[in-house]
Amino acid sequence: MKTNITSKLFLLLIGITILSCKNTSIQPPDAKKIAKELTIHGDTRIDNYYWLNERENPEVISYLEAENNYTNAILKPTEQLQEKLFNEMKSRIKEDDESVPYKDNGYFYYSRYETGKEYPIYCRKKNSLEAPEEIMLDVNQLAEGHDYFQASGLNVSPDNKLLAYGVDTVSRRNYTIYIKNLETGELLPEAISNTVGYAVWANDNATIFYVKKDEITLRSYQIYRHELKNSSVFDVLVYQENDETFSTYITKTKSDKYLLIGSGSTLSDEYRFLDANNPKGDFKIIQPRERGLEYKISHFGDYFYIRTNIDAQNFKLVKTPVTKTTKENWKDVIPQNENAYLENIEIFKDFLVVEERKDGLNQMRIIKWSDNSEHNLDFGEETYSAYISTNPDFDSKLLRYGYSSLTTPTSTIDYNMVTREKTIKKEQEVLGGFDKSNYESKRIFAKANDGKKIAMSIVYRKGLELDGTNPALIYGYGSYGATMDPYFSSTRLSLLDRGFVYAIAHVRGEQYYGRQWYEDGKLLNKKNTFTDFNSCAEYLIEQGYTSSEKLFAMGGSAGGLLMGAIANMRPDLYKGIIAAVPFVDVVTTMLDESIPLTTSEFDEWGNPKDSIFYEYMLSYSPYDQVKAQDYPAMLVTTGLHDSQVQYFEPAKWVAKLRDKKTDKNVLLLYTNMEAGHGGASGRFQALKEYALEDAFIFQQLGINE
């Protein structure tokens, strides 16, 4: 009871402080200091804000709410602008929208939105698009009464009668699986909690397999078999991943013949398979795990097709008989190309589609099985994003793929692999008079400290003058080998139409130039990610695209780590920084194996229990490297229920920045108290977060319209 009174008094005093001050003299919350000694390798760090880790402590909640109050007070002059931006962004979206249907097992599946509603409606039609619509799941109805709602993993049984799906109402990415009878509309008794959010059907229509999470670390580590006629208390554990650096999952081959259990870490994979007609059988290992051996399985005919890095840094495609699956039986189908990174494949009866990345750009190569003749798709723009979409039918001559660029709205395209004709099934409709000919996008190249060429994809309204007066926003990520391909965003138009240059920096840590580009931005090479980004910022300034007085930087999650690092290293380059759900307390987090994702990421960041990695991580960890210096204006966002980056990392970081920094620039922390890593659920609620971010930028530049 004493704690509750203390926390309420704390919040009341903060509120009085804020309300009693004019906008020009609003004082931010001042987090108390409780020294916590953290010692390893003979080195002791003092963490004054470690107490903010206590999620259940009412004083922590009060502090986060006080920070929200402060953010709201500082941004109060932008309320009308935020509302304008929200309406502007919403007005570009076609509210009564529908996805392009795809056919699978006798039904056409699609999702649609209705005007004024936040969530999708999942539908299907039997045999023909002229058939009556069946609504499988109306997420709007399910979401009623919830501040956050996410439905995921929709999977229909082979006989088309049952739907399995997952629900998360907290935003902790911890789902409960439900099963719905699509003929009667009734829910079956099943409600299987603490899962990853999807179930895979065996071919008997009566058995599902699902993945359980560790309740503390949230690591996916157990796979269970559930029979619909039985209570879930009788579910059978068919696999447990005991290596804490691995996570596990289950899927089904495109052929529907095999169930696959996959286990993966940053550097290694292992698969097991089972005939989907025999769900009570034993899974067999395809190739035992070896450190550094990565592989991914597809099935066609009598063979497994395997994308792998064995003797191939940029990956290659091999095949092996289903009866002889270990690596000594693997035969090359597509050898490694040192100049092209093999990202994905799609198998058809008559064709093999290969998705590659060459010189940073997506390419698709169509290979005819009968004679090995091949051709490439031509995408026709200087910088773009193209990807294989949903293709469930082996017999089809049509390849469905997605395409987008910084100026071209996302399109769904069917490509006839025989006639080589493209049919645009749908291009995202952008309302409000959008004309892509008003905008220009291109690739430009900065030079890294070590001479490497770093690509940037940029977009702006035509007629841009390179006189250094343009505001600009540069975005980066640079981790896990995840490449930030340029894609269209209708919300981004609010920046472009106000004269902004928008840039994506393809820094090391991505796989933009292949696997080595990733290797050069991880572990003991991680600082390349940060210096690459700063080199890109310098280049934009040198070339007259913008100036340090008008340049903003943004990144989220591991990209938030990037933001924290550049803020410490080169604060002079940026007018402002937005760090979304930022991973900034690197050393402490990676030393705590109870925190979600820690053990599975030692091969990405290093294990600080090794002194070499400890010292290197400590040298760039944004929280540890905060110092007495001027920093740019900063907006830091997080979610109380974030399962990927815990809320206390950004909260501690902001508290330490407030204590150390020597400038008077604004520093804001906004915590979504109802959401997690992905922010608000709902189609339009997320737009309010975009509007908040833009308003922060505009306020710093004095833009009021």
Q: Compute the C-alpha angle 2/4/10, nearest 5°.
A: 105
pLDDT of residue 230: 86
- Binning pLDDT at 50, 70 and 90, where does residue 648 land? very high
Instruction: Report how far apart, in Å, the C-alpha atoms of 331 and of each of 270, 272, 304, 307 are.
Output: 18, 19, 11, 11
pLDDT of residue 218: 84
Instruction: Report how far apart, in Å, the C-alpha atoms of 678 and of each of 150, 218, 321, 527, 647 are.
Output: 11, 16, 41, 26, 13
pLDDT of residue 677: 54
Last residue of a domain, one of 102, 127, 145: 145
- Binning pLDDT at 50, 70 and 90, where does residue 70 land? very high
At 114, list the tokens: 């209705």
- Binning pLDDT at 50, 70 and 90, where does residue 681 land? low
**Residue keyed to tokens 């944004």:** 622
- Binning pLDDT at 50, 70 and 90, where does residue 167 land? very high
pLDDT above 90 covers what percent of the chain?
A: 86
Which secondary-structure segment (H or E) carries 581? none
Classify residue 100: in a domain, yes or no: yes
pLDDT, one tens digit per residue, over 238-257 is: 999 999 999 999 999 999 99
pLDDT, one tens digit per residue, over 482-531 is: 999 999 999 999 999 999 999 999 999 999 999 999 999 999 999 999 99
**Residue keyed to tokens 């750009």:** 361
| Cα 608 to Cα 592: distance, rounded to the nearest angstrom | 10
Classify residue 373: in a domain, yes or no: yes
| Cα 409 to Cα 278: distance, rounded to the nearest angstrom | 45
Judged on CB neighbours under 10 Å (0-12, 13-18, 19+), 693 is buried
**Residue keyed to tokens 């300034």:** 541
Classify residue 311: in a domain, yes or no: no
pLDDT of residue 144: 92
Which residue would you say has higher pLDDT here, 148 or 131?
A: 131
pLDDT, one tens digit per residue, over 323-367 is: 999 999 999 999 999 999 999 999 999 999 999 999 999 999 999
Number of H helices and number of E strands within the chain? 13, 37
pLDDT of residue 169: 87
41 has pLDDT over 60: yes
21 has pLDDT over 90: no
Last residue of a domain, one of 432, 458, 473: 432
pLDDT of residue 231: 84
At 501, list the tokens: 């240059």
Question: Which residues in 575-586 are b (16+ Cβ under 10 Å) and which e?
Answer: bbbbbbbbbbbb
Residues counted in the chain: 705
pLDDT of residue 675: 61
pLDDT of residue 11: 38
Instruction: Please say if 204 is a catalytic residue.
Output: no
Sign of the CA dihedral 482, 484, 488, 493?
positive
- Binning pLDDT at 50, 70 and 90, where does residue 619 land? very high
Classify residue 252: in a domain, yes or no: no
Residue 506: how many CA atoms within 13 Å on its side-chain side? 25
- Which residue segment(s) compose the domain that 350 sits in? 337-432
pLDDT of residue 376: 95
pLDDT, one tens digit per residue, over 200-234 is: 999 999 999 999 998 888 889 999 999 998 888 89
pLDDT of residue 23: 46
Give strand pairing partners of 459: 441, 502
Among the ranges given (22-26, 606-610, 681-685, 696-700), the one the predictor scored with the smallest mean pLDDT: 22-26
| Cα 354 to Cα 696: distance, rounded to the nearest angstrom | 43
Contacts within 8 Å (CB) and 24+ apart, 206-213? 207/279, 208/164, 208/177, 208/179, 209/238, 209/250, 209/259, 209/279, 210/177, 210/250, 211/248, 211/249, 211/250, 213/174
Biggest alpha carbon–alpha carbon distance for the chain? 79
Q: What is the mean pLDDT of residues 144-155?
A: 91
| Cα 172 to Cα 168: distance, rounded to the nearest angstrom | 7
Classify residue 569: in a domain, yes or no: no
5 has pLDDT over 60: no
Classify residue 664: in a domain, yes or no: no
Instruction: Please say if 677 is a catalytic residue.
Output: yes
Contacts within 8 Å (CB) and 24+ apart, 254-261? 254/298, 254/299, 254/300, 254/347, 254/392, 254/394, 255/299, 255/300, 255/394, 256/158, 256/203, 257/299, 258/299, 259/200, 259/202, 259/209, 259/283, 260/297, 261/223
Q: Which DSSP symbol is given to 133?
A: P
676 has pLDDT over 60: no
pLDDT of residue 685: 83
Q: Which of 226, 299, 641, 677 is catalytic?
A: 677
Instruction: Report how far apart, in Å, the C-alpha atoms of 308 and of each of 305, 346, 362, 487 are.
Output: 10, 15, 19, 28
Classify residue 123: in a domain, yes or no: yes
pLDDT of residue 620: 98
| Cα 409 to Cα 493: distance, rounded to the nearest angstrom | 12
DSSP string, 583-615: ---HHHHHH-TTSTTSGGGHHHH--TTSHHHHH
The count of domains in the chain is 2
Q: Which of 111, 157, 265, 557 is catalytic?
A: 557
Q: Compute the C-alpha angle 596/597/601, nearest 5°.
A: 155
Q: Which of 642, 643, 681, 694 is catalytic?
A: 642
Q: Which DSSP symbol is given to 27?
A: P
DSSP string, 643-686: SSS-THHHHHHHHHHHHH--S---EEEEEETT-BTTB--STTHH
CB contact at 8 A, 454 and 507: yes
Residue type, 553: A
- End-to-end CA, the chain: 48
**Rg of the chain (C-alpha set):** 26
pLDDT of residue 3: 34
* Helical packing angle, 527-542 and 558-569, nearest 10°: 60
Write down the mean pLDDT value for the chain.
93
Phi and psi torsions of 337, nearest 5°: -115, 115
Last residue of a domain, one of 414, 432, 450: 432
- Binning pLDDT at 50, 70 and 90, where does residue 652 land? very high
Contacts within 8 Å (CB) and 24+ apart, 219-222? 219/244, 219/247, 219/596, 219/597, 219/599, 219/600, 220/196, 220/247, 220/248, 220/249, 221/247, 221/248, 222/248
Classify residue 362: in a domain, yes or no: yes
